[in-house]
């Protein structure tokens, strides 16, 4: 644990560690509540001033941490903020990237709203990635980590920062915009491009430059892959393809039409709702159960649109959930919830079965989530 002593705060557990600091859960003895403290690693260029600056502007806005305190302990600067949930990246890892598409799109809407709020305060985030979104048990999303933010507009004179190139790379290679790789000064369009990569990652469980087998590409290779990526490689929904194409068409200073972007996600949500085939059977059986036991269980399984699951499927342990569709014989199509990469194939199988068998179609119609 980092050397940090304070009359007011008692460090509890480490919540996360980044390149620039460590974040701890701590007890605030003054208010008798738990808070989050970010303690900066000693370094030449401090980011904590920008973090505090942005927090002072966004504190109190929906989906942002509240700034509680800041100061210095020895040569280390720290900032205290409200304690939030787990980061989206970890959350998705812990449920093995299995989550229904509607919930991902709901989360996506919140992620986009946070970017809009930050832009309305004239800040760019410049390091958007799933790790920067924290999510609580009610699936409420907050944005954190403002150390790399940059003011893009002089709020008094309303003058936009100028277009420049040959800039050093700022951000995280996997989610950075292509222009960031190319050394072009970032503006609002770049945060939105990062958002597209985050959304694609959450929907598909991978990005062309972040394969599921954990291969890591270097920044140059990622840049090359982004140069040639087709929108359809990122999204299967035509509305989301439109979203990506719009973001890529934005000029440097252009104010993005956020309303249009929200509508496109809502459109994707609508498309998904009308075609979704996710049918969940909660029967308590584990994947390792013998087929005999499974068969017995299956005979009394409930095909449900589990309301708790629907409301909060990110928070449940999915270990005991099987995916199935009952045809006329009660045949189980799939033993486990499919990984995202298999979801498309799974849906195709179901659609095919439904097209061939009206009874399956009927079951699907009444079980669509």
Ligand X SMILES: Nc1ncnc2c1ncn2[C@@H]1O[C@H](COP(=O)(O)OP(=O)(O)OP(=O)(O)O)[C@@H](O)[C@H]1O
* Catalytically annotated residues: 127
**340-356 and 188-204 helices, crossing angle to 10°:** 60
Q: Does 131 bind ligand X (CB under 6 A)?
A: yes
CB of 342 to ligand X, least distance (A): 28
Q: Which is nearer to ligand X, 93 or 266 (CB)?
A: 93
Q: Which is nearer to ligand X, 43 or 155 (CB)?
A: 43
Bridge partners of 149, per DSSP, are none
Site string for ligand X, 136-165 (x = CB under 6 A): --------xx-x------------------
Site string for ligand X, 38-77 (x = CB under 6 A): x--------------------------x------------
Q: Does 194 bind ligand X (CB under 6 A)?
A: no
Q: Which is nearer to ligand X, 150 or 160 (CB)?
A: 150
Q: Which is nearer to ligand X, 16 or 231 (CB)?
A: 16
CB of 67 to ligand X, least distance (A): 10
Q: Does 20 bind ligand X (CB under 6 A)?
A: yes
Is 220 part of any known ligand binding site?
no
- Any residues with CB less than 8 A from the CB of 221 and at least 6 apart, and which? 209
d(CA 31, CA 50): 26
Q: Residue numbers of the site for ligand X (CB under 6 A)?
A: 15-16, 18-21, 23, 36, 38, 65, 81, 83-84, 87, 127, 131-132, 134, 144-145, 147
Give the residue ranges of the annotated binding site for ATP: 38
């Amino acid at each position: 644990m980092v050397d940090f002593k304070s009359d007011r705060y008692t460090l509890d557990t480490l919540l996360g560690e980044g390149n620039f600091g460590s974040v701890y859960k701590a007890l605030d003895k003054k208010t008798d509540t738990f808070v989050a403290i970010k303690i900066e690693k000693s370094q030449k260029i401090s980011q904590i001033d920008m973090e505090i600056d942005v927090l002072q502007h966004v504190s109190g806005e929906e989906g942002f941490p509240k700034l509680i305190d800041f100061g210095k302990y020895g040569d280390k600067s720290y900032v205290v903020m409200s304690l939030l949930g787990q980061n989206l990246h970890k959350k998705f890892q812990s449920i093995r990237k299995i989550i229904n598409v509607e919930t991902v799109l709901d989360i996506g809407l919140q992620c986009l709203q946070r970017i809009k709020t930050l832009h309305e305060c004239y800040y760019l985030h410049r390091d958007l990635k799933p790790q920067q979104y924290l999510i609580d048990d009610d699936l409420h999303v907050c944005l954190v980590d403002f150390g790399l933010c940059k003011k893009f507009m002089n709020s008094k004179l309303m003058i936009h920062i100028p277009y420049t190139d040959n800039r050093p790379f700022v951000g995280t290679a996997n989610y950075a915009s292509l222009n960031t790789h190319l050394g072009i000064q970032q503006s609002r369009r770049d945060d939105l491009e990062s958002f597209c990569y985050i959304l694609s990652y959450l929907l598909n469980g991978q990005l062309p430059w972040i394969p599921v087998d954990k291969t890591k590409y270097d920044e140059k290779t990622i840049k090359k892959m982004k140069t040639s990526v087709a929108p359809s490689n990122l999204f299967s929904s035509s509305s989301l393809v439109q979203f990506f194409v719009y973001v890529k068409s934005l000029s440097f200073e252009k104010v993005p039409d956020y309303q249009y972007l929200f509508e496109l996600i809502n459109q994707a949500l609508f498309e998904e709702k009308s075609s979704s085939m996710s049918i969940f059977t909660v029967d308590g059986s584990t994947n390792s159960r013998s087929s005999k036991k499974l068969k017995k269980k299956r005979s009394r399984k409930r095909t449900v649109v589990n309301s708790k699951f629907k409301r909060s499927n990110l928070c449940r342990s999915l270990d005991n959930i099987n995916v199935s569709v009952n045809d006329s014989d009660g045949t189980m199509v799939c033993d486990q919830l499919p990984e995202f990469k298999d979801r498309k194939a799974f849906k195709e199988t179901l659609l095919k079965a439904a097209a061939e068998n009206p009874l399956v179609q009927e079951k699907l119609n009444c079980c669509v989530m």
